[in-house]
Structure 1
C-alpha cells in the first residue's frame, strides 16, 4: 500500500531530481523514495558513523604525533639551553661588543640554514631515527666479533 506525501523542495534540488530521472530513466518518485530510504536506513547511519570514527582515529593519531614532536622539540631546546648556560663563561666588559657582533653573525647564519632546511622539507625530528640507526650500527662495528672460538 502506498500513501501520498507532498513535500516542498528548493527549485535547484527539483531540477537535479528531474535531470537524474531523465538520465536514469526513472520516475522522480523512485529517486526521492530511494534517497529517503537511504537516509532512513540504519546501514547508512552505521556507514556514516564508521567513516566518522575512522576520521576521528586519524585525527587522534595526528594530534598524538604533534604532541610527541612538540615534546621532543621542547626537551631538545631545554637541554641545549641548560648545556649552553652551563659551559659558557662570562665575557669581560671589553669583549662584549665583539661578542655581540659575532652573535649577530652566527644568528643570521642560523636563520639562513633554518630557512634552507624548511624549504627543502627537512626536519630535525625526521633525522633523529636516522642518527640513532647510525649510532647503533657504529656501536655494532666497534664491538669485537665473536667467531665462535674461545
Structure 2
C-alpha cells in the first residue's frame, strides 16, 4: 500500500465548487482528483524542462536542415537550367557521327570521374577558391 500524507490547502470558492461536483460522481474522490491533477501539472513541468534543455539545440538543427534543403533546391534548379541551356544550344549529332559520339562519351566519363574525385576528397567547387 502506498503511504499517503495529509495536506491542508485552500481553494477559491468557484474551484472548490467544481471539485465538489466532480467528486460527487460515483467512484471519484477529492483526493484522487487532486492527485491526478497535481501529477499532470508536475509532468507538464518536467516536459517544459526538456524543452528548455533541448529546445535551443533542436531549433539550431531545424535551421541547419532548412538551409541544407534550400541549398539543395538551388543546386537542383541550377542544374536543371544548365541542362536546358546546353540542350537548347547544342546541335544534335548526326546518326553516323561515331567520332562525335566517341568524344562525347570521353567527355562524359571525364566529367563523372571528376565528380567522383571531388566527392571522395570532400572538396567543393561552389564557394571554393579557384585552382592556381
Aligned residue among 77, 97, 100 for 2:79: 77
How far apart are residue 50 of structure 1 and its match?
1.4
1:87 and 1:44 map into 2 onto residues whose CA distance is 63
Which structure: larger Rg?
2
2:127 and 2:3 map into 1 onto residues whose CA distance is 63
CA RMSD of aligned residues (A): 2.7
Q: Which has the higher contact order (CA 8 A, sep 6+)?
A: 1
Question: Which residue number in structure 2 is paired with residue 53 of structure 1?
Answer: 55
Contact 1:117 1:123 in 2 (8 A): yes
Question: Which residue number in structure 2 is paired with residue 107 of structure 1?
Answer: 108
Is there any run of 5+ residues in structure 2 with no aligned partner, and where? 5-41
How far apart are residue 109 of structure 1 and its match?
0.8
1:83 and 1:119 map into 2 onto residues whose CA distance is 28
1:39-50 superposed matches below 5 A? 45-50=47-52
1:58 and 1:80 map into 2 onto residues whose CA distance is 33
1:45 and 1:59 map into 2 onto residues whose CA distance is 20
CA 1:57–1:125: 2 relative to 1, 3 Å: farther
Is there any run of 5+ residues in structure 1 with no aligned partner, and where? 6-39, 132-150
TM-score after normalising by structure 1 = 0.50
Task: Name the structure where helix makes up a greater proportion of residues.
Answer: 1
TM-score after normalising by structure 2 = 0.55
May I ask how many residue pairs the two structures share in their alignment?
92
